Structure formats: structure tokens, C-alpha cells
Structure 1
Amino acid sequence: MSTSRHLARLALALTVSTATVHAQSASEAPSDVISLEAVEVTSQLRVQEIQDVPIPVTALTGSALEAYGIRQYKDLAPFVPGFMVQEQSPNNPGINIRGVTTDSGDPRSETRVSLFQDGVSISRSRGSVVELFDMERVEVLKGPQGTLFGRGAEIGAVSLIQRKAQNTTAARLTAGFGNFNRTEIEGMVNAPIVADQLFGRVAFTAVQHDGTIDNVADGSTLNGKDTQAVRASLRWQPQPTTTVDLILNYQVDTPPGTSFKSGTIAPPGGDTSPYTFAALNRGRDLYIDRSVWGATLLIDHELAGAWSLSSITGWRKFDSFEQFDADGSFVPLLEFAEDATGDQFSQEFRLNYKNGGPFVGFIGAGYFHETGSQVVPFYGNEQQIWPFLSGNFRDGIIAAGVPAALANAAIPAVNPFAPVSAYPASMALFANPALPPSLQGLAFLAGVPLKGSHVEEYANHGETTAWDLFADGTYQLTDRLELTGGVRFTAEDITSGYEASRLSSTPSTVGFILGGGENIVFTPTNGVLEASDDSTGWVGRVSARYSLNDLTSAYASVSRGRRPNAITIDATGTPNYLKEEIVWNYEVGVKGVSANRRINWSAAAFTYNYNNFQTTIADPSTPGRFIATDAGNATGTGFEATFQGAVTDTITLFASYGYTDATFDETGDNGQPQEFAGYSFRLTARNTAALGATLNFPLGNNGNLWLTPVVQYKSKHYFDDNNAMFGGILSEDGYTLLNLRAGWRSPNGRWEIGAWAQNLTDEDYLIDAGNTGGSFGIPTFIAGSPRLWGLNATFNY
């Protein structure tokens, strides 16, 4: 039996799961009582034990994140069933919850999965990736969460809670190295500034390693990492009833570019495997330069009686630039870049009620404003592009009446991979008087050289202003039964813009030949084309939770999620108004702990129905450009389970399993067959499973050793909603990854020395396929990380 199949069956046999994963260090493990730590979460915007929340939520404490080496979103996946992360680069993540993915960089459309950092949305794709360092907790909520987390939480939310300044003096420093010339350093300093009133904390991280794919074009590397981040926070407590937190975040990423390797054109002396060396144009000019700034102000104030007031003010800005070789080869065919910016401000006020009686809840209002742009330049070499286009051109002019012999003369009799100097300098064909009337208009191109450099670009612009009113509450009907309900109303004003322009000094010869006028790819718009719209919508939830006994409870819920209306515009200036995307989710679940708290578990089953599912497809009229479209109706069903148990005071085990079947329906609302009928959503693995453990080996006065193995499995999944594209090769078969961490900790916990490895068995797997090259008929493929390892040392003060 294969490892992956055995793992999946073992996880299924457990049939139960934990809603939280907490890794106890040896210094934290009790010597006389074996138990798991009770974890408190704020998923419902109030502090609760996770077992009391009628939501499928997984929470990982800060100590769990550190013990398992979780530094990026993708590292969370083994611990959260139904959760998958694709990270091409810090500039281009894809986050999938229960089969539904958020990854678009288009500023004109809303996300499906919300990411929140201390209550502030960081959901916009190009600015969403942040390092998980010095964290208090991460919570992943599944199912529509718009009532609690706003308009972008259509199918789920990820809540990042950073550690705040405390009234204590502490410091921590970690340094390490690893393969691919990896270096890392991370630290934290916390101290009181004014006794018992004002505290400060500064945390930082810097991680760098070379790329894992060699680019033999110039000796550079691809798929590397280079990230620096710093966070400064102040906590002011002028009185016992008031707490004010100010948090400033800054992160910069400057890694080498992503290896979009062609599956069609092999590098000289190489092959088309995505796991071997590449030969991409521009070499070291393929890179990412991304900066993210954020400021958050949190105020919690207890009013008279049972009321309290919470305020969340957030400002964020990102600026990212990425150069990438879209054809994935050494031929300068599809050379692109993306320059994305975003600026947002948000304000939320929430009035909370809790008097110790049967009802607890809140009402609130919010404001959100965002502007963003996405500029995509295209760099073309007509002398290299022409041989690839000339075959189609030949057929076209023969059909127009040009004799075959004359048409054949238009095709350069050279290898398309030959040096530029081998190409003809002019298109003398069009001076021939034998041209039919339909082509005589091109005669002026006679003698016009094929250009070695041509630049054009398109840009998407978006502006959104939204206002929210929301309320949510829980009422305890009996000692065992409680009901929860909530609703959020939203009003939005959106403006979308599109522009395409020619940046070269002279028009494109090939562009005229192809009928595109001055440009090869993007038809010029002669300025920005805009369209505006306003809309209103609502989301809500109703749930019931019943305590079967003091240790086990069951819940059932119905929730409505929404992705707001969107507008796209093409070069003609015609706006395309996309309807709001609606999902209804129905769910039942059960959670429990053992009497001695040595075991906790949970399981949930769900089904959801989508209407007006918006997907991104290649623009059929403009190769290289992607547009949003209504793909119709879709349905998802699934089951999730995780388990955690303290076997002894030194061994803790966990397991997780998720089953998701998310596909497009056979017919749409109008009863007509759907284009993607029966196809699975992209990035959706039907089965995911993980097994892991925390093992501590006490050494008496010599400290202790620890070991944390984690095995995860993902079944086959597709990288495009059109599963049949290119014969179905845009997919990845099931694979298993093994991660391992081990180390020694001193008796007082002051020193720690550790070693770690990700993908220990060096498994080959893909994280994406198709990409921009796919829209031109030459798909590219991105390899997942090979085996990475490192050593580090930590000092705690």
C-alpha cells in the first residue's frame, strides 16, 4: 500500500478531530497531570473556549506555531482540514477553503476568503502575505463568515492575532542557517515604559535563501526567498477599564523571480520538467519587489453596566512589482511584469453587551475605502515572435486569396530559436501588387523592420467605498440549548477602470498584421475607460448549539455568504456587470473533550450551493489578459475531522482529515448546460489528511530533547476550473510530504538548539500549472519546494 493511501485510511479510521492544535514544550508539560491546554478564541468577537463556538474553527496558539515552525500560510495546511494554500510568491498567493479559492490580483473584484490582522482586513491578494512571527494565535474559520468578518468572508476567514505589548520585561533572539545559502534571524523585546500603564514591544524577522531552481541563462536562481519584517506596538492602559493598542507593521520582500517553466519549449541541453534547471530571459531582472505598510489602533473600553465599546481603526498600503517570463523559455516571446498598488482605510465601532444573563451579543457599524491598480506591461521582440505567428498568418492570407507560393515567402526560413540576426529585416511581401484588395491596406508596411523591442501594457483600476451595519447575538434558551443569529447589511459604491496603451516609440508591425493595430496583444483604448455602480446586499447566519453532556456538544447552522457585484471593461469600453455571488451553507458538527482533558476532537459535515460563481478565464479576444465571468452554479459537500490526544505527559498526537467535493452543476439557472459542468474547482483536493506528534524526552538536569514529525497528504487536484484544458495536464496527482523538527532545550528554557527539514523525502510536486502562458497555448509549470533544512539557536531572556 502506498504511503499516501495508508495515511488517508489511517486518518479516516480516527473519524474524529481536534478543533485546536497546541504543542506543549517540555518545560510546559505538567509533571503530575496529563492534559491539553484549554484554548480561548475570539472567532465570535468575544472570548470563548473553542469547544463552545458553533463554528468549524481551528486555532493554533503561538507556542504551536513556534513548535511546528509555522511561518507562512502554507505551513498551516496540515493542521486545518479543508484548507489549502498555493504560494507562487509573496506577491501571488492562492488561499482555498472548502474548495473555493481567492487569488485574483484584480482590484475591481472582492475576495472570497478574508484575511484579518488584529481585526483589519488584509485580504487584497498582492498585499495579503505576511510573515507569521511573534504571534499570539491564528484562527481559521470555515463557511460563510460575513456576519463576523465582513464582505470578503464569503466562504471563510483567517484571523491573525499578533502578540501585543505586555507589562513585563522579556527578550528573545533566534538565528540560523540552512541549505540554499539560507540565513535567518528573528527577535523580540518587550518592556514597560511607564509602570503599569504604558508598555512597548518590538519584534522583527529576516529570512533569505537562494532560489531552488537554477536559471542557466545567466547563472541566477528562481523560487527563492528574501523577506524582512518588523512590528512595533504600544499598549496603554490609563485605567483598568480601558486598553489602547497601537500596532505598526512593515514588511519588504525582494526574492528572485518565479520559475514559470515551459512544458513545451525545453532549455538548451535540458528538458521540460519543472523540477530541473530553466533558461528564462532577463535572468536577474526576474524578481519581486514588494512592500507592505500597516497601522492599527485598537480601543476597548468598558462602559457603565453590561456595555463595552470596541473600536478598530486600520490603514494599509502595499506596492508590489514583479517581473516574470510568461512563456517559461529562453525565447523572448511572452515577457511580462505586474505593478500593483493598493491603499485602504477602515473604521469599525462595536457596542458589546454582556451582563451575565442568558443573552450576549453586539451591534456595530463599519466604513471601508480602498483604491487599487494593476498595471501589466508586455515586452515583445517581433523578430522572435514572428516565426511562431507566421504559420497562422500563412493560412490566413492564403484564405484571403494570396497564392500559396507568395504566402510561403512570408515565412522566415529560419529556426525560431536562431539568433535575432538571422531574421529578415522587412516584410517585403506587402509591396507585392498581387495582394488582394482585402490586404492592400497593409502595403505601407513594406520595408518596415520587425522590431527587436516593443512595449505595451494594460491597467486595471478599482475604487471601493462600503458601509456596514451588523448585529450578532447568542441566547441561552435552556441549560443545554443556545441559539445564535446575526446579520450584516452592506452598501457599496464601486468604480472600475481599464486602459491599454502603446509605450514603444513606433507601432508594432506584427500588431498591424494581426489586426490589433498599434499593439501586438492589448488593443489601445486611447485613455482610461471607466464604469461605476452601486449595490446593497446582506449576509447572515443562524445556528443552534446543544450540550449533549458537560463534555460534548453538537451544533447545526445555516449561513449566507456573498461576494459583491463587480464590473469589468474591455477595450471597446463596454462594461460587463457581474452579479453578486451568493452561497448558502448548511452544516452540522460535534465537538468534545474527555473528562481528564487528555483528548479533544470535533467533526463537521457541510454542503453549500453557489449562484453566479465568478471565475477568471483567459480573455478570448485578448491573449494574455484575464477577465472575470459568471460561470453559473456550483455545489460543494464535505466532511472534516481532526483529533488531538495527550498519550503521556511527554507525547501528544494529532490527526486531521478533510473531504471536499466541489464541482460546477450540470445546468445553470436558465436550465442550459454549463461550460464547466461536472468539473472540480481549481486547487481543490478531494481528500487531505495529516498526522503529527510532539514528543519530549526529559534529560533531568540536562534539559530535554523534543521531536515534532508531521506528515500531510493531498489527493489529485486541478489548477484550472476548466479541468479538460490541454488534455487535463494542468493538474497534480496525490502526494505526501514529511516535515520534521528536533532539538534540545536547556533546563530553564533559556537556550534552545534545533534542526528542521521540510519535504524531508524530497518529493516532486507542482504548486501551479497553466498560468499566463496557458492563455497563449504554451502552459507553464511551477515546482513546489524541494527538501529544505536548517539549524537554529534561540536565547530567551
Structure 2
Amino acid sequence: MASLTTTPFQKSLVSTIVIACLAGLSATAVAETDDGVERITVTTQKRVQAIQDVPVTVSAFNGEMLEQLGIVDLDVLSEITPGLIIQEQSPNNPGFVIRGITSDSGSSQASPRVSVYYNGTDISRSRGSYFELFDIERVEVVKGPQATLFGTAASVGALSVTTRKPQEDFEAGITAGLGNYSARNVQGYITGGQPTVQGRLAFTYRERAGYIENIAANQPDLNGIERFGIRPSLRFTPNDDLTIDLVYNYEKNSDTGTSFKSRRFAPTGGDTSPYSFVEASGSPVAAAVFGKDDLGIDRTVKDLNLTLNWDINDQWQLTSISAKRRFDSLEVFDADGTQAWFLEFAEDATGKQFSQELRLAYSGQKLNGFVGVSYFDEDGNQRVPFSTEESIFLNCMGMLPSGVPCINADGSVTILTPILTEGAFEVLPYQGYFQNFGEHSAYSAFFDLSYALTHRLELTAGLRYVREDKTSRYASNFGNSVLAGVPLLPVASTDDEIFSADGRFSSWLPRFNALYRLNDNLNFYATVSKGRRSEVVDVGSVHSAAGVVPRVDIIPAETVWNYELGFKGSTASNRLRYAVSAFYQDYSNFQVTLQDDAGNFYVDNAGNANNIGVEAELKAAITPDLEWFANLAWIDAKIDENSSNGDLAGNRFRLQPEYTLGTGLLYGHDLNRHYRMTGSLLYTFRSDIFFEEDNAPVAGFDISQAAVQQTSLRLGLENSQHNWAITLFANNLFNKEYLVDAGNTGAAFGYPSFIAGPPRMVGLELRKTFL
């Protein structure tokens, strides 16, 4: 069982949170207005329901709230959602964390833990799961295993995003903005049509210079963005009973690369702070080895979705969702974070997915639910090429008795090849690669039924059966170096030969829920559900007496039983809405992602783990002009303190803070008939986190982040007569320094790297709507 001992700081934080909540309740109690907060409806259980009638823990936000808070990045959803952390190293490498459990593996052989749904379709594969938040109708974040609702990838929860659909009436809008770091953005949409056919076109373009200066020649400043997205959609409504939606989404990311910064060696004339300039020189032969000559990302995603909803009669509805998605992502990065041609890597990941779901839903006075079947097919690969100069690599790894430092005091890098080869070579470029492939087909049958035993008590039971066929492949090529006579990375090279293995797995995944309506404004619920991250067919290579042969490990399926109690309610006037839940999760065969000595990520079994926590959300109408919201979570997620769990026993899960708090204000005041003042304030707190499951320093450097506080502010003026608005904004208002990640690929070689989070971002936006 996780320890419940609290420090004085934690007690102080809890007291502060309680006082803030009481202050909000007090302010609500004395407010004279009868206006309430907006009533939220969700489709979590595949039907439209008031959020408090859903017997699971779910946070939901409409597009208007996202726009009022200026949320256009997935990771910012963490600030308004208890129990959710989204880490964005780059569009190629997002990490989704729900209740302490991270889903971010780029390996094509491993399965995701968090379902990311886009217009009703699973897009959970890490390298293809990032997308721009533009023209959004609704975001729902569901916590706990939800296999019957969101598929097998939802072993710990799901993030579901629905885009806005076409409408018959003409409407168009455009937003343009400027900011520091040469930031520019433009978003827009146009929609309209006839009674039977409507269309919508939405687009976004954002660019910003890198906020970490890179002094290396011919390399860009780092953490810059350039992102474009366009989404045409059509809606066909041939009659009142049939709706057909066709949505195509295209996104292109050309970011300048991630600021991996070394703490061991400073750039020329600089220091080792992650927040100061870097000298990431990359590989001089990057174009030939990686297919891209500078640091950065080249990523394309294409997505096509066809959804059919047919109201057969007043009780029965048939839904068909067909989707096809393809991503192609190349990221070139300097893993050592120095000016040395040392640990230069790229990741070239591709994937294509097809899914089909058929669902028949019934809606009655007492019985509601659905039954269905689905098919999901995915084919992906992840290729990791490597480039270095032989003498630099051997010297920096301490394998040469030269006495020459890896990087000299003046910032220069000595190439020892001419000396070691007696002038035969000036430089000795070395390269190699390893690559994993994964083919995954899943066939599912499922049902989920809710029955009202009385007008107060409703019971829900669901079950999904899934059969998965998996094929994993692996290949590598690392030749002997000239200087060392062996491969520079400890990889058993297959010399381009592809090793393969497959497996077939199946499982039954149930959920049980009870909802009790104490009165019209307060509901209690209880949940028991099972989640599963499927078996991993881990294929690699190993040396043997017969030469290099396949290494095949079947990592057991990770299973979790989730037990949860909660209540949701509102005051009679709906001026206060609240939700509180407590959960306990028991894991078996907990899968962790680790790195080997070659920098290759792999999945291993860490044994048993447990997870306990409390989450809460509040929203209150303080006055007709002012709303206050708050969310908080306490999550104590650890691997069991059992010797059978090895070196990770007792360690906290990576990326998960023990305490999080997000609170803010939404303001809107009519100055006169035509002008309105708007504003929003968002404050977030996150306690300390570890970036690796080891919870230990690497090469003497702490791989963690202390507590972080951030504040964002937006102030605007709207004109209702001419439908325009102008907004000033500041994110990270007080310019707090914090890390996005630490350790990374360089840690496997004793050269951990550190990634700085964004500094203060300020700007101005102008919006115009045409009706």
C-alpha cells in the first residue's frame, strides 16, 4: 500500500487548496445573481448525457472555453484537467499520462496505454497522436480503464477530441496574431450549405522562432515551431434520420528541433544551464545518413474519417465509423547536447492505420446501451540511425588513454583520428542503425448496458472481448569501426537481415458501474473496471556461438484493476458544479520503458505496482460576469516495495507529480450595447517529478524537476456590432524556468540532456467573424 505520510509543505499546500475552495464557495453563496455555470453534456458512454449522470470520472471542455483560455496545444490541457499530464518534447514525441501512468513509447512493437481518440477513432500510436487544437467542438478526458467505451488502448483512460462539424447557415471567422520570438499565427474557418449538404473548411498556421539560441553554424535555434493544418469536412443529411460526416485532416510540422542541453560540457563561451544558449552542431553528414541536413522535425499526418449515424426509430440507432490514418515523421537530434560530433541520432517513424467500428445503440426509459464489433489494423516501423566521428566517440566515452578532454576548456573539440592513424585519415565518420517493425490487428466484440432499477439507482455493466494478432520484426547494421575494430554501439548487428516473431493473444475486459441519485442535484457512483496493455512481442538480436541470432521475449500483458468512488453535483441554481473521486489501482506485470547501452528503448516487466489518488473539480458563477474554476489531484503512484520488483522497487512513476492544482477565472462584462470586456486568468501548480523510472541521478546529475508554478493571463475587447475582438495574452507570465524532460537518449551513454520549457510568451490576437 502506498504511504499516506505528508510533509509540512504538503500539509500547507492542502490547507491552501481547502481555503481557496472555501473562499470560492463563500463568494458563490453571497452572489446575488441567479445565473449559473454552463451545463455540460458529454458522449462518454456513446450517448448524450449530462456530465453528472455519467458514472465514471470525466473532465469535459467545449471549444469556447479552450478559445477563452487560449489553449491551442495539447500539453496545456494538463493545466485544466486533474489527473492528466501531457508532455510535449515535440510533435513527434508526445507523452500522455493519466493517473501516473505514461504512454509515450515510440517502439512499433509496444502498445499504447492511453487511448487518444480523434472524431471517434483511435489514433493512440505515440508518433502519430499529436494534432493541433483548432476549430474544436469538445474535449473529454476519461479516467480509469474504459475498454468497452474506448478500446483496449484505454487501459488507464482516454482523451477524446471532437472537431466542429458543418452547419447550414453561413459563418466564417479568422484570427491572426503576433508575439515575441517572432511568433505569428492565423486560424480560420468557413461553413454553410443547403438542407441536405453542408460543408466546413478550417485551417491553422503557427510559427515561432526557437527560444533556445543555438550558436552552432548552419543550425537553427531550438524549440521553434512551424505547424500547418487544414480540415475540410462535409455533412450529408438526406433525411431527418440519417447523418453522414466525412472529415479529412492534414497536418504538417516543421519544428526546428528539441533543445537537448548537456550539463557536463558548456557551449563555447557559455554555461551548462538548460535555459541558456546551446551549441548543438549535429552531424556534418546528416543529409546522407539521416535524410535531413539540420536539426529538427519533418512530420506529416493524413487522416480520413467517415461516420454514419442512422436513427432507425426512436429507440435504435446504428453508427458506423470508418477511418484511415497515416503518419510519416523524421526527427534529427543531437543527443549529447554539445558541439562534439558525438551522439547524433535521428528517428524515422512511419505508420498507417485502418479501423472500422459498427455499433448498435438502444435508448429507452430504463435500459440504455450499445453492442458492437470493431476491427483495427496498424502497420508501423521506427528506424533510428546513428552518426559519430570515431575518435570523438571513443575519447568522450573514456576509451582512449589520450588525456585529451572530450571538449576543451575553450569549447573546441579535438579530433584525434590523424594522430591515431598516423595521418592516414583526417576524420573517420561512423554510422549505423537499428529498426523495429510492428504489425498489429485487433478484432473486438463489445457491449455496454445501463439499467435503471429505480428512479434513483442505475447499474451499468460492459464487456469487451479482444483478439490480437501481432508480428514484430527487427533489423540493424553496425559495422566494425576502424579504430576499435568492433561496432561502436553494443548492438548485435543483423547486417540488414530482418528477424521476426509473432503471437496471438486474447482477453476479456469488463467494467461495472453503479450510479445513485441522492436528489436532483447530487449523484454518487462506484466503478470496478479492468484494463490491459497487451503482450509485447519484443524482437531483437543477440550474439551466440552460431553468430548473431534473433532474441525474442514475450513481455506479459500488463493488467490493472481499477476501483473508484465519487460524487458529482451542483447547487439548485447551478451556480456551483463539483465532482470528487477517489481511486485505487492494482497493477500486475507493470510494463516500463527502459534504455539499453545503445540508446535503444525497450519494454520490460517491473512486477507489481499500485496507484491511489483523489481528484476534484469545481466551477462556480461568482457573479454574472465572473466564473471561477479549480481542479486538483493527489496521486501516489509507485512500483511496489517488493524485492521481486528489482531495482525499481518503491520508485515513483515517471512524469507524475504527487500534487497538481489548476485554478482560474473567466471574465466577461458588457461595457455598453456594442462593447464587451473579456479576460481569463489561469494559475497552475505541479509538485516535483522524476523523468525516469530509476528515480536516480545519471552521471551525478539529478533527473528530476522541482515544483513548478505558472500563471497565464488574457485580456480582450469585443465589438458585437461588427463582430471583432482584440486580445492581449501572456503565457508563463512570471517567466518561470522549468524542465520539460531530462535524461533522454544521452543518459544511456552517461551524457544526460535537459530540455527547457517555454519562457514567457506574450502577444496580440485579432479575431473577426462574418455572419
Q: Shorter-chain TM-score category?
A: over 0.9
Shift of 1:100: 0.4
Q: Which amino acid aligns with 1:653?
A: W
Partner of 1:175: 176
User: Residue 434 of structure 2 contacts residue 476 of structure 2 at CA under 8 Å; is this kept in 1?
Assistant: yes
Would the aligned equivalents of 1:558 and 1:585 in 2 still touch at CA under 8 Å?
yes
How large is the Cα RMSD of the aligned pairs? 2.3
Change (3 A) 1:748 1:476: farther
User: Counterpart of 1:371?
Assistant: 379
Task: Tell me which of 466, 473, 476 is aligned to 1:490.
Answer: 466
Equivalent in the alignment of 1:260: 260
Distance across 2 between alignment mates of 1:777 and 1:133: 40
Q: CA deviation at 1:133?
A: 0.7
- Aligned residues with identical type, % of pairs: 39
Q: Are 1:754 and 2:727 an aligned pair?
A: yes
Deviation at 1:463, TM superposition (A): 0.3
- Is the counterpart of residue 684 in structure 1 residue 647 in structure 2? no
Q: Structure 1 length as normaliser, TM-score?
A: 0.89
1:271 matched to which residue of 2?
271
Q: 1:525 aligns with which of 473, 485, 494?
A: 494
Which of 467, 473, 478 is 2:449 aligned to? 473
Name the stretch that deviates more: 547-556 or 565-574.
565-574
Aligned to 2:212: 213
> Quick one: which amino acid aligns to residue 375 of structure 2?
Y
Is the CA contact (8 Å cut-off) linking 1:339 and 1:376 kept in structure 2?
yes
Q: What is residue 434 of structure 1 aligned with on the other side?
A: none
Q: For residues 745 and 179 of structure 2, what CA distance do their matches in structure 1 show?
A: 33
Task: Give the gaps of 5 or more residues in structure 1.
Answer: 19-30, 394-410, 429-445
SS of 1:288 mapped into structure 2: strand
- CA distance 1:555–1:520, change in 2 (3 Å): closer
Partner of 2:546: none
Check the 8 A contact 2:339/2:413 in 1, yes or no: no
Alignment partner of 2:606 out of 631, 639, 642: 631
Deviation of 1:642 (Å): 1.2
- The one-letter amino acid of 2:601's match is F
Matched residue type, 2:227: T
Give 1:627 deviation, angstroms. 1.2
- The one-character-per-residue Cα deviations of 1:428-464 (angstroms, maximum 9, x if unpaired) are 7xxxxxxxxxxxxxxxxx9975853111101010000
Q: Secondary structure at the match of 1:596?
A: coil
Say whether the 8 Å CA contact 1:766–1:783 is kept in structure 2. Answer: yes
Structure 2 segments unaligned to the other structure (5+ residues): 1-7, 25-31, 284-292, 543-549
Question: What displacement does 1:482 show?
Answer: 0.4
The aligned amino acid for 1:741 is R
**Matches of 2:630 and 2:374 in 1, distance apart?**
39
**Which residue of structure 1 aligns with residue 618 of structure 2?**
643
C-alpha offsets along residues 649-675 of structure 1, whole Å, 9 cap, x if unaligned? 1010011110000000022xxx73532
Tell me the distance in 1 between the aligned counterparts of 2:708 and 2:368.
Answer: 46
Partner of 1:404: none
Amino acid at match of 1:303: I
Using the size of structure 2 for normalisation, the TM-score is: 0.92
Q: For residue 199 of structure 2, what is the aligned residue in structure 1?
A: 200
Counterpart in 2 of 1:591?
A: 568
Shift of 1:17: 13
Task: Look up the match of 2:524.
Answer: 554
Distance of 1:38 and 1:388 partners within structure 2:
60
Match of 1:291 among 290, 300, 303: 300
- Per the TM alignment, residue 416 of structure 1 is displaced from its structure 2 partner at its CA by 3.3
Give a deviation string over 1:151-210, Cα, whole Å, max 9, x none: 100001000011011111100001110000000000000010xx2100000000000000
Supply the AA of the counterpart residue of 2:335: A
CA–CA distance in structure 2, aligned partners of residues 316 and 732 of structure 1: 36
Question: Are residues 164 and 568 of structure 1, via their aligned partners in 2, closer, same or farther at CA, if it must alter by over 3 Å?
Answer: same
Counterpart code for 1:200: G
- Please state whether the residue corresponding to 2:569 is helix, strand or coil: strand
Counterpart amino acid of residue 507 in structure 2: G
User: Partner letter of residue 227 of structure 1?
Assistant: R
Question: What does residue 55 of structure 1 align with?
Answer: 56
Deviations 1:461-490 (A, max 9, x none): 000011000000100001100001101000
Structure 1 distance, partners of 2:273, 2:165, is 46
User: For 1:259-279, what per-residue CA distance to the aligned partner results, in whole angstroms no more than 9, with x for missing partners?
Assistant: 000111111111111000000
Matches within 5 A, 1:695-714: 695-714=667-686
2:582 matches 1:605:
yes
Q: Larger Rg: 1 or 2? A: 1
Q: Please tell me the residue identity of whatever aligns with 1:101.
A: T
CA apart distance, 1:323: 0.3
Cα distance in 2 for partners of 1:740, 1:679 equals 36
Corresponding residue of 1:145: 146
1:661 is matched with: 636
Structure 2 distance, partners of 1:159, 1:145, is 12
Q: What are the within-5 Å matches in structure 2 for residues 337-736 of structure 1?
A: 337-354=346-363, 356-389=364-397, 391-392=398-399, 411-417=401-407, 423-425=416-418, 427=420, 449=425, 451-502=427-478, 507-512=480-485, 515-516=486-487, 520-526=489-495, 527-572=497-542, 573-619=550-596, 622-667=597-642, 672-726=644-698, 729-736=702-709
Q: Aligned to 1:794, what secondary structure does the other structure show? A: strand
Provide closer, same or farther for how the CA distance between residues 32 and 594 of structure 1 changes in structure 2, counting only shifts above 3 A.
closer
Residues 104-128 of structure 1 show CA distances to partners (whole Å, capped at 9, x for unaligned) of 1111111010100111111111111
Shift of 1:392: 4.3
- Aligned mates of 2:304, 2:591 — CA distance in 1: 32
Moved more, 727-736 or 37-46: 727-736
C-alpha contact 1:448 1:509 (8 A) present in aligned 2: no
> What letter is aligned with 1:377?
P
Structure 1 residue matching 2:79: 3-state secondary structure: helix
Residues 323-345 of structure 1, C-alpha deviation per residue, up to 9 Å, x if partnerless? 00000100111000000000000
Q: Give how far 1:4 is off.
A: 10
* Whole-angstrom CA distance in 2 between matches of 1:293 and 1:372: 15
Counterpart for residue 27 of structure 2: none
Instruction: Tell me, yes or no, if the aligned pair for 1:34 and 1:598 is still in contact at 8 Å.
Output: yes
**Aligned ranges for residues 92-131 of structure 1 at < 5 Å?**
92-131=93-132
Matched-pair contact (CA < 8 Å) for 2:55–2:525: yes
Q: Kindly report which structure 2 residues correspond to 1:23-62, keeping only aligned pairs within 5 A, or say none.
A: 33-62=34-63
Match of 1:12 in 2: 18
